[in-house]
Amino acid sequence: MRERSGLITSAELADIIDQPDLRLFDCTTYLEPAAEGSNVPYNVVPGRHTYEAGHIPNADFLDLQGEFSDPGTELRFMMPEVAQLEAAFGRHGIGATSRVVLYSIGTAMWATRFWWMLKSLGFDDAWVLDGGFDKWKAEGRAIESGPAKGYQPATFTAKPRSGYFVGQAGRARRQRRSEHRRRQCTRSAIPQGPGAEPVRPAGADSRQLQCVGGDAA
């Protein structure tokens, strides 16, 4: 696979589909309307049923909410602890020498979510199938059905990178910065002495007050 934006074409996948180091995954999830009166906006349904109805040969299935999200919160798709991810990816056969290809049905967002998670854990040999299962099927390529056979378990060792996900500490810093900017904006809008005008950028009218920004420590 040539180096580029993290995508692999269906033709490229077909060329490597029988290679023993390939780990191929259907990542589909469905969001269905919740019942009236429910305290959640939608129900998360793993795409296992559509996987079993038809998938790319040799593919396994990854359940984003069931295995790869934080079980300790009602919020959906929250990044879990690194140890949970190491165990889950290892159960699905991803190790240091694996090449991973991810796809989903209808939208690439589920495949790209797993791609992003793997990148955040320091795993770079991961690719998203361009056009997903829909393009593969439309091209008349091979499809099989039935339950997942899975891969031989492996040892997945994470090397977490910063900047991919924002945790509680990051959210707190952003909130502090936002509050700091709000205070600065408020001060800049208040005249600073008798007869003084609010600070405004050149050419702005009196309603377009300048906001003096700045980051909190």
Length of the chain as a residue count: 217
Query: Residue 47: exposed, middle, or buried by beta-carbon count in 10 A (0-12, 13-18, 19+)?
Result: buried
Give how far Cα 195 sits from Cα of 59, 185, 189, 190, 207, Å: 73, 20, 14, 11, 17
Residue 209 phi, psi dihedral angles, 5° rounding:
-80, 140
Does the domain at 7-138 match CATH 3.40.250.10? Answer given as yes
Quickly tell me which residue has 């492996």 as its tokens: 154
CB 136 within 8 A of CB 103: yes
Return the bridge partners of 31, or none: 44
Q: Identify the pLDDT of residue 195.
A: 57
Neighbouring C-beta atoms of residue 170, cutoff 10 Å: 12
pLDDT, tens digit (0-9, with 9 covering 90-100), for 63-113: 998 899 877 776 677 888 999 999 999 999 999 999 999 999 999 999 999
How far is C-alpha 3 from the geometric centre of its chain's CA atoms? Answer: 21
Neighbouring C-beta atoms of residue 165, cutoff 10 Å: 13
Give how far Cα 207 sits from Cα of 179, 189, 203, Å: 22, 10, 11
Q: Identify the pLDDT of residue 78.
A: 80
Both tokens of 124, joined, read 């770079």
Instruction: Give pTM, 2 decimals.
Output: 0.74
CA distance 198 to 213: 15
pLDDT, tens digit (0-9, with 9 covering 90-100), for 138-163: 999 999 999 999 999 999 999 999 77
Tell me: pLDDT of 208 over 50. Answer: no
Domain boundaries of the chain, sorted by first residue: 7-138, 168-217
Q: What single-letter DSSP state applies at residue 31?
A: E
